[in-house]
Amino acid sequence: MTNEDNVARELLGEITTLLNRFPKVLEHRAAEIEATGKDPELASKLAKGADAMRDSGNLYITWARHFAALSEGSSDAADDEDESENFNI
């Protein structure tokens, strides 16, 4: 594995972590807003945004793994692993 391969895999790990954390942050903020009663519409939008980010995270991670494998010269870049487990879906 070359240094570039290591960078791609390292970035893939970072992307996975961030895409897992982001919806949780949105949900937390939505809960804070809802608890204060400040803006229920904003809280609802943030909660829906968290759901959308969680759902789409699977797709982005699948493609990122595919291209990381291609960059490593893998002829079988497709991965049958279900990414939804990473996002608590």
Q: pLDDT tens digits, residue range 31-52?
A: 999 999 999 999 999 999 999 9
Annotated domain spans of the chain = 3-80
Task: Give me the helices (H) in 1-89, please.
Answer: 3-36, 40-71
Q: Where are the beta strands (DSSP E) in 1-89?
A: none
Closest CA to 29 of 15, 53, 49: 49
- Predicted model pTM: 0.71
Q: Residue 50: which region, alpha, beta or left (left: phi > 0; alpha: psi -120 to 50)?
A: alpha
CA pair distance 17, 84, nearest whole angstrom: 13
Per-residue pLDDT of the chain (89 residues; tens, 9 = 90+): 567 668 999 999 999 999 999 999 999 999 999 999 999 999 999 999 999 999 999 899 999 999 989 988 886 655 455 555 555 55
